[in-house]
């Protein structure tokens, strides 16, 4: 595969293997790609900005707070203006920062800000590579979708032997070709377990106005619904996310529609149909204020105002009730504070969905707004309970479950 026209953002970390990054730049440019180099402070101890920029034919980015760089190309733009981000050598420190989402220098900030695939070529001492902390970080990054080339076994500059040696530049080039080939496939047709499937997901709370400045809301953060959208996109699905007001970023590779009220959410869902799968993860407000004021309500001498409520449309139930284009699989959520399983079973039957994900959202559980969730999968064939997991992990498992059951029909 030719790399003609491809743009590689190369982060060079601090390690003896940094000298190989120079040859790597040559090899990539020979194949028609451009390389925009970023040098970490430690990287600068091993290769000079002058040699890197001479080989890349571009100036080197080094500083997060450089005014000239920010004026020409800010770090967000830098992180996006590439087809692939490559880190070579990827040191234990860079790996640890990326695994934990730190952003305290240019390299780590770029890794957190990018919406592109990331390929790491680790290089470090064998003990550092085998240390449980590094292995934990690498496993986390792999779960996040980061790709790795190497390391390989070999004698190291420090004299020890074992895994930790950076792969040769041409092997990184081969890994780049593979990564870019598969990302092209995903954007065209998808190659994951949900490739070719269209999923609509609702997420977050809804806001129901009382007057132009006040509203009724709930504590949903949208973290679980957004994580499902992200996991489904990674599994190759075409994902439409209909999100209520949340304080978290839109998932990458997902079409996100932002709405405020339950009625807006229903409209956006109906506009996005038909779909193969619908997942109602939003905490939709059950009621809206019937007598919402057109102007800001003022304090009255006669006492506090009385709000009248009307029931909102039930989005999940209305998707299930569609005759011509009901999605083949409809998944609801049941956020409860008591009788979790029984209420979920009732919702399964009442709303006519195929699967209900039940969870206990009592305040002491810390689920609403928190990063963890303990769920029970309730279908007409029974209940499957999962342990307390990160919401990202719940999302991944749910996507796997849906992919596995989709063809035969959940609970069939
Ligand atoms: N839901 C919906 N539209 C609504 C209310 C709920 O789509 N107006 C969906 C939620 O997204 C979730 C499921 O229905 O997938 C259950 O939501 P929940 O609020 O727990 O259920 P309710 O219908 O409000 O039932 P109850 O008041 O009995 O808890």
pLDDT tens track for 34-73? 999 999 999 999 999 999 999 999 999 988 776 565 555 6
Per the annotation, the verdict on 320 as an active-site residue is: no
Protein residue whose Cα sits closest to atom 4 of ligand 1: 314
Q: Does 216 share its domain with 271?
A: yes
**How far is the centre of ligand 1, averaged over its atoms, from the C-alpha of 354 (Å)?**
15
Name the region of 137 (left: φ>0; alpha: ψ -120 to 50; beta: rest).
alpha
Ligand 1 atom closest to Cα of 350?
Answer: 23
State in Å: Cα 284 to ligand 1 middle: 6
Q: Answer yes or no: are the C-beta atoms of 343 and 336 closer than 8 Å.
A: yes
- pLDDT band, residue 407 (cuts 50/70/90): low
Percentage of the chain lying above the pLDDT 70 cut? 93
Say whether both 85 and 130 belong to one domain: yes
- Dihedral of the CA atoms 130, 133, 136, 142 (nearest 10)? -80
* Residue 130 covered by a domain: yes
Q: Quick count: other Cβ atoms within 10 Å of Cβ 411?
A: 15
Ligand 1 near 367 CB (within 6 A): no
Specify whether 174 is located in the same domain as 204. Answer: no
Residue 252 and residue 171 share a domain? no
Q: Which domain holds residue 358?
A: 198-407
Q: Which residues pair with 278 in a beta bridge?
A: 200, 330
Same-domain status, 233 and 377: yes
CATH number of the domain to which 149 belongs? 3.40.50.1950
CATH number, residue 251: 3.40.50.10300
Q: What is the mean pLDDT of residues 262-284?
A: 97
How distant, in Å, are the alpha carbons of 220, 244, 372 from that of 369? 6, 14, 9
Quick check: 187 pLDDT over 70? Answer: no
- Give the pLDDT score at 86: 97
My answer on whether 171 and 236 are in the same domain is no
Strand locations in 337-403, DSSP E? 355-360, 372-373, 375-379, 382-385, 389-390
What Cα–Cα distance (Å) separates residue 400 from each residue in 154, 280, 375?
Answer: 37, 17, 15
Number of domains within the chain: 2
pTM > 0.85:
no
Q: Is 315 in the pocket of ligand 1 (CB under 6 A)?
A: yes
| Among the listed residues 77, 83, 80, the one whose alpha carbon sits nearest the alpha carbon of residue 184 | 83
Q: Is 311 in the pocket of ligand 1 (CB under 6 A)?
A: no
Question: Which ligand 1 atom is at minimum distance from the Cα of 312?
Answer: 8
Does one domain contain both 261 and 133? Answer: no
Least confident stretch, 7-11, 29-33, 79-83, 338-342: 79-83
């Amino acid at each position: 595969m030719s790399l003609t026209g491809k743009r590689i953002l190369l982060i060079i970390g601090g390690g003896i293997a940094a000298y190989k990054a120079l040859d790597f730049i040559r090899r990539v440019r020979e194949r028609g790609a451009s390389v925009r180099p970023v040098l970490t402070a430690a990287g600068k101890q091993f290769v000079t900005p002058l040699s890197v920029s001479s080989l890349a034919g571009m100036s080197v980015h080094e500083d997060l707070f450089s005014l000239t760089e920010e004026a020409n190309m800010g770090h967000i733009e830098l992180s996006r203006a590439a087809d692939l981000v490559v880190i070579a050598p990827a040191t234990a420190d860079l790996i640890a920062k990326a695994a934990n989402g730190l952003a305290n220098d240019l390299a780590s900030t770029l890794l957190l800000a990018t919406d592109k695939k990331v390929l790491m070529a680790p290089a470090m001492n064998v003990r550092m590579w085998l240390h449980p902390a590094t292995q934990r970080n690498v496993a986390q990054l792999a779960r996040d979708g980061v790709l790795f080339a190497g390391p390989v076994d070999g004698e190291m500059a420090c004299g020890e032997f074992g895994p930790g040696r950076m792969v040769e530049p041409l092997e990184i080039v081969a890994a780049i070709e593979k990564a870019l080939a598969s990302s092209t496939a995903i954007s065209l047709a998808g190659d994951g377990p949900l490739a070719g499937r269209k999923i609509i997901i609702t997420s977050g709370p809804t806001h129901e106005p009382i007057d132009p400045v006040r509203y009724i809301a709930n504590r949903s953060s949208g973290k679980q619904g957004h994580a499902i959208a992200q996991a489904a996109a990674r599994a190759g699905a075409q994902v439409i996310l209909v999100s209520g007001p949340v304080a978290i970023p839109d998932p990458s590779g997902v079409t996100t529609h932002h709405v405020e009220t339950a009625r807006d959410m229903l409209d956006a869902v109906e506009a996005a149909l038909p779909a193969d799968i619908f997942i109602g993860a939003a905490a939709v407000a059950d009621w809206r204020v019937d007598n919402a004021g057109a102007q800001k309500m003022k304090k009255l001498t006669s006492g506090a105002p009385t709000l009248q409520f009307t029931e909102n449309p039930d989005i999940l139930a209305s998707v299930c009730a569609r005759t011509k284009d009901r999605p083949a699989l409809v998944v609801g959520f049941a956020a409860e504070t008591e009788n979790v399983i029984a209420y979920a079973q009732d919702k399964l039957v009442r709303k006519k969905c195929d699967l209900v994900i039940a969870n206990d959202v009592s305040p002491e559980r810390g689920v609403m707004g928190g990063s963890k969730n303990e769920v029970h999968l309730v279908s007409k064939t029974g209940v499957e309970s999962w342990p307390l997991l990160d919401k990202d992990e719940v999302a991944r498992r749910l996507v796997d479950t849906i992919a596995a059951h989709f063809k035969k029909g959940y609970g069939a």
